[in-house]
Amino acid sequence: MFQDIKKYDILMVVFLIFVVSVFGYYYVNSLARNLLWLKTYPIRGELSVRQISCSDNSPVWLADILKYQTKNNNALANQIAYIEPNGNLHHCENGYMGQYPVLSDAISEQTRFRYASVTKLWTADAILQLVKDDKLSLDTPLADIVSEIDAPKDARISEITIRQLLAHRAGFDRYSVFGQDMFGIGKDICPNHIEGLNTITLGFEPDSKTSYSNLGYCLLGEVVSRVNNKPYKEVITERYNFPENQLLFVSNAALPDEVFYNYVETGLTGVADIYTQFDYDGLASAAGLSGNAIDLAQQVRKMAKKPAPNITSLDANVVCNSGDVTEECYGYAMLPYQPNSKSATVYYRDGSLLGLSTLVAVDEHGSVVALLSNGTPDTGVDHNLKTKIYEYLNR
């Protein structure tokens, strides 16, 4: 009977075995499946770039930024909003809400993105308002507000000031065992175990250098709460009129109007998504807000127009190189970039989480640019993007 088997039948059986084997391999091997999915990015990116929508009379460079993000920074969905010095608002969007292009709804100007560390602008602005209201000063010791700091092993902790916390110069090294970085490095101190400050040792002498600190901004959130005698989220929600816009604090689950984030696990860390990896209640004052690019630009514009000290103010005692866009040259909320002494200054604040990045820029004339993306660059931070926006704002 074997004589009746044709070559076509043998090839078909071999083909079917091959298909089943490949399917089975990728079905049981999630890491291999994720790597294969990443290889489809150029196709998905091309579909996303073709889905750009802009408001009437928007500058061409807004769409150019979205194309750049999609092609270079793993961001299949983006929003950008631009407010001119005269208050005119422009915006562009591209990409799709869900994981699969074409099969999901297109991004709109109302689509929700997480703001990540750009949230710190609200915390800084609330603190600076307390300063202007004479409820505290930039040199008020944290220990005067946070009573749990009563007998620290490291006496320098009692002397940490509001000014140092704002500028990331309080002595908390995010990469040390006591850094309390949001990725789980260090002790769980803020907001639920603040008495733990009595047991740690600072990573460096306060004011001796800059070291980005989520712990510092969590503590600033506690200051906002205690001076106002209300929970931090309640203070911010009321002060910035959340019912009148789309701003919301996030939790460990996606919101119904939220974009899908382009994060794929390619290692063995076990990190599945941005929702379950972080304690967003604990990070409320450092990385807890969400909204769209228009709301972000409008809120930041209001903050930047306030009397000094405001989110663009710099500490006169801190010397750093504002001509290097890669340097951590923090003011009270944002980082200045001035290529040379004769050029204009633009102030930045950026942020990122797994599968998303945020950036807001304010220039000396009152222009604001807000960019939200559902992906992150391979390098972590794309400093070329900041210089591109600088050039567009100073044409």
Residue 149 to residue 194: CA distance in whole angstroms: 8
Residue 261 in contact with residue 277, Cβ under 8 Å? no
Percentage with pLDDT > 70 across the chain: 85
Q: How far apart are CA 25 and CA 228, in angstroms?
A: 57
What is the spatial distance between Cα 114 and Cα 254, in angstroms, rounded to a whole number? 10
Tens digits of per-residue pLDDT, 124-171?
Answer: 999 999 999 999 999 999 999 999 999 999 999 999 999 999 999 999
CA dist., res. 4 & res. 250, Å (int):
66
- Is 182's pLDDT higher than 90? no
**Paired strand residues for 251:** 253
pLDDT of the residue at 173: 80
Supply the mean pLDDT for the chain.
88
Higher model confidence: residue 39 or residue 166? Answer: 166
Q: Of 247, 204, 21, whose CA–CA distance to 114 is shortest?
A: 247
Q: What is the pLDDT of residue 227?
A: 98
Q: Which two tokens stand for residue 297?
A: 């630009």
Q: What's the mean pLDDT in 49-77? A: 96
Checking 308-312 for CB contacts under 8 A at 24+ apart, the result is 309/128, 309/131, 309/132, 309/138, 310/125, 310/128, 311/121, 311/124, 311/125, 311/128, 311/347, 311/349, 311/362, 312/336, 312/347, 312/362
In the prediction, which pLDDT does 179 show? 52
Interatomic CA distance for residues 189 and 149, integer angstroms: 12
User: Residues 246-284: pLDDT tens digits?
Assistant: 999 998 899 999 999 987 665 555 556 778 788 888 889
> Highest mean pLDDT range out of 315-319, 332-336, 382-386?
332-336
- pLDDT tier for residue 317 given thresholds of 50, 70 and 90: confident
Per-residue pLDDT, averaged over 329-353, amounts to 95
pTM of the model: 0.90
pLDDT digits (tens, 9 = 90+) for 188-235: 788 989 999 999 999 999 999 999 999 999 999 999 999 999 999 999
**pLDDT of the residue at 30:** 55
End-to-end CA distance of the chain: 81
What is the per-residue pLDDT for 177? 47
The residue type found at 205 is E
**Which pLDDT score is estimated for 268?**
52
